[in-house]
């Protein structure tokens, strides 16, 4: 378990502060993560990576000369917010374009896409490379759906080395995609990991068993089997990876290949060497040449007892960049002469939300803003009370952090709403500011989507009049449309859309019948709660839970449940204040 923690919701901020202090000769802490202490040369391409915390040395430990230029660091097992990614990318930008490189998880894709759009709107040329190396997460025919795990390191490394050598943005992007096409990973676990402040691991592996195909966010394995001796485990991993690379299960003799044997947390270095001994024998016996192997912690999952094996088959170009020198807190190769940095390290522990002028609302809109503020306060209370249960639901086929993320998000939204209310904001401005704060503080998929919901609702509501049923229904419908467009979820995918869609439809019907806001919302809230419970019968078709779809049958979707909770407390507050 995780032993050393003060407050769980402050774990990441305090970790970043300590990490930056320990490595101030190499990195600088900025809003959202860390960047190289010495800036890239003017006009050079920079490579920005990112992901949730809890995976060290990914992602901040890979920032430095010869490797990436910056890393956005999200909450534990949650993607960084679009604001964090944007801030880190701007801090590292040197005028030659930006490569955003990240693993294929729904929250990362959603937030990196939003950050990319914001950067491009400022005239910056930005490309994205998404890592898809995990063979357990989707079949080869659907390789674009695979998640990224330890194989991200070779992709990051060759892209950054190419950028440091002066390659153009097009070339760096091509090289990174070529590396991603040539990397495969498979992981196994003997136990689950335990989040900071939690008392139980996210999943349990029976004694004497082995979970095959687990994920780095605590996602359980695809199946469990009897544990294997080190040599037999090495043979299984090598065989499965080579079968995915080649239909015959073999590469041509003489192929040059790199190997990454990764501890997921608590497997000792000595144990890795025992396994690597057999991996080395197996690959050499097939006539393959191993180049610059890595036997270490590459991407971890807190204290998970497990390992992953990555194979990266090379061409001349990729080999040059893979072998290039690097000097980061966690990855060192060859020798790089350090120059004196131009700036001093700056520690910024909190994510800053971009300020927005507060529009003073009409008296009618300010009254609605006060009601919304009370809704946020009630929402925080219910999420706080149900945080552990939401985490339990999420851990069935996901990463167990939904309760933590929701509490961080709603708390930030409440703080922003209080400030907006004190500044006499109307309902629309209060909602948009709260949405920005939620997304920036929570990160992850749900954080981004709640930001979309609140922002869209606020824009539609405005700051001048008290909304009627038609306005409320139209606002929810617009939010639904935005969520489906950005999150790519459809009804039936086992997400919060399965609550938002029937909730929206019920409000539309009530509006058409001329029913009051109070009655319409109350009736629609009942429908939302029923819909949330019915998600227990659905198979997830997108997101982290998709590879473990069968495990989630019988358990409702946590995002659907938390949305229904907030809709319900909103109904209670609305009924109290409105006739």
Q: Which residues are catalytic?
A: 217
Distances 383 to 261, 311, 389, 406 between C-alpha atoms, Å: 40, 43, 10, 7
* Distance (Å, whole) CA 456 – CA 121: 20
- Whether the Cβ atoms of residue 368 and residue 427 lie closer than 8 Å to each other: yes
DSSP-assigned letters across all residues of 235-294: HHHHHHHHHHH-TTS-PPTT-EEEEEEEE-BSS-HHHHHHHHHHHHHHHHHTT-EE-S-E
What is the Cα 431 distance to its own chain's centre? 24
Q: Name 263's bridge partners.
A: 307
Count of C-beta atoms within a 10 Å radius of residue 331: 21
Q: What is the largest CA-CA distance in the chain?
A: 80
* Distance (Å, whole) CA 320 – CA 273: 26
- Whether the Cβ atoms of residue 100 and residue 48 lie closer than 8 Å to each other: yes
* Distance (Å, whole) CA 224 – CA 189: 9
- Whether the Cβ atoms of residue 114 and residue 121 lie closer than 8 Å to each other: no
Q: Name 30's bridge partners.
A: 33
User: 17: Cβ–Cβ under 8 A, 6 or more apart, which residues?
Assistant: 29, 347, 349
The DSSP secondary-structure symbol of 48 reads E
């Amino acid at each position: 378990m995780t032993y050393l923690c003060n407050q769980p919701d402050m774990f990441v901020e305090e970790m970043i502060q300590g990490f930056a202090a320990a490595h101030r000769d190499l990195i600088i802490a900025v809003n959202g993560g860390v960047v190289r202490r010495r800036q890239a040369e003017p006009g050079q391409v920079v490579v920005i990576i990112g992901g949730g915390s809890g995976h060290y040395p990914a992602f901040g430990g890979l920032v430095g000369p010869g490797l990436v230029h910056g890393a956005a660091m999200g909450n534990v097992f949650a993607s960084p917010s679009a604001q964090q990614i944007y801030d880190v990318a701007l801090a590292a930008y040197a005028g030659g374009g930006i490569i955003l490189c990240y693993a294929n998880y729904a929250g990362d894709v959603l937030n990196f896409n939003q950050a990319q759009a914001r950067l491009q709107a400022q005239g910056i040329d930005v490309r994205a490379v998404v890592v898809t190396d995990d063979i357990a997460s989707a079949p080869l025919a659907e390789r674009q759906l695979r998640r990224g795990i330890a194989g991200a390191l070779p992709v990051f490394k060759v892209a950054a080395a190419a950028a440091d050598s002066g390659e153009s943005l097009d070339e760096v992007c091509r090289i990174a995609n070529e590396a991603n096409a040539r990397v495969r990973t498979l992981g196994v676990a003997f136990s689950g990991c335990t989040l900071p402040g939690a008392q139980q691991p996210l999943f349990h592996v029976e004694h004497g068993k082995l979970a095959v195909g687990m994920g780095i966010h605590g996602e359980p394995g695809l199946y469990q089997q009897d544990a294997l001796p080190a040599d037999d485990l090495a043979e299984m991993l090598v065989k499965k990876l080579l079968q995915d690379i080649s239909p015959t299960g073999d590469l041509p003799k003489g192929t040059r290949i790199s190997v990454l044997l990764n501890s997921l947390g608590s497997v000792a270095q000595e144990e890795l060497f025992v396994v690597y001994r057999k991996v080395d024998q197996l690959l050499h016996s097939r006539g393959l040449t191993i180049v610059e192997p890595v036997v270490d912690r590459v991407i971890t999952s807190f204290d998970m007892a497990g390992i992953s094996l990555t194979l990266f088959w090379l061409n001349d170009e990729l080999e040059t960049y893979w072998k290039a020198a690097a000097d980061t807190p966690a990855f060192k190769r060859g020798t790089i002469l350090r120059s004196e940095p131009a700036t001093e390290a700056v520690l910024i522990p909190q994510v800053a939300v971009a300020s927005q002028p507060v529009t003073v609302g009409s008296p009618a809109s300010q009254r609605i803003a006060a009601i919304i503020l009370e809704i946020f306060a009630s929402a925080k209370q219910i999420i706080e009370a149900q945080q552990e249960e939401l985490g339990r639901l999420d851990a069935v086929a996901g990463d167990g952090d939904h309760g933590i993320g929701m509490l961080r998000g709603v708390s930030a939204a409440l703080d922003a709403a209080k400030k907006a209310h004190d500044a006499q904001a109307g309902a629309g401005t209060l909602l948009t500011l709260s949405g920005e704060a939620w997304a920036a503080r929570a990160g992850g998929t749900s954080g981004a989507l709640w930001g979309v919901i609140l922002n869209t609702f606020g824009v539609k509501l405005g700051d001048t009049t008290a909304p009627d049923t038609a306005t409320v229904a139209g606002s929810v419908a617009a939010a639904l449309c935005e969520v489906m467009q950005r999150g790519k979820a459809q009804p039936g995918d086992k997400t919060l859309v399965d609550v938002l869609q029937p909730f929206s439809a019920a409000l539309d019907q009530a509006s058409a019948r001329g029913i009051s806001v109070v009655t319409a919302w109350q009736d629609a809230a009942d429908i939302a709660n029923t819909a949330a419970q019915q998600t227990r019968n659905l198979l997830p078709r997108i997101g982290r839970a998709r590879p473990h779809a069968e495990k989630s049958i019988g358990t409702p979707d946590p995002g659907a449940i938390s949305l229904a909770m907030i809709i319900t407390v909103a109904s209670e507050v609305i009924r109290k204040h409105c006739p």
